[in-house]
Structure 1
């Protein structure tokens, strides 16, 4: 969670810094507005890319967890079947 807060802090600081820098730049209003729009679009694009990468990574991790869960489940079923067979053999041996 701390990494997430740091990420959003960096994004926010970069956006605020860019806007402040552009507002105090010695250019006319139209050029400044165009620069703000361009920078905002660039930051939004970067944010979307970062979110998509995070989504892919989360999906990959979820897939790995699912595979591990299936492996544990299969191992548990195999052990249960082994114990069941051993118990049946013991029962048959004493009958």
Structure 2
């Protein structure tokens, strides 16, 4: 079953330089062929409740693949930059 890692940014970017470092570290890292970006800060409209300030949705073939990417040394090295840049919630959800 496919799985999705979803990042929700809540609030303004605190540190644009840290966010740029995070983005560049993801671009420069070897591309995981199992990762498929579906949404990267696209336009959004809240239907119920408060909308997040940014959304990223990444698709993987399975929860195990999603966890392996998240736990990879390359991505783990990038996380502190994202956390310094803004407040995010991140989670994995299993698809159909």
TM-score (normalizing by structure 1):
0.24
Structure number with higher relative contact order (C-alpha < 8 Å, ≥ 6 residues apart): 2
Q: Looking at secondary structure, tell me which structure has more helix per residue.
A: 1
Higher Cα radius of gyration: 1
Q: Looking at secondary structure, tell me which structure has more strand per residue.
A: 2
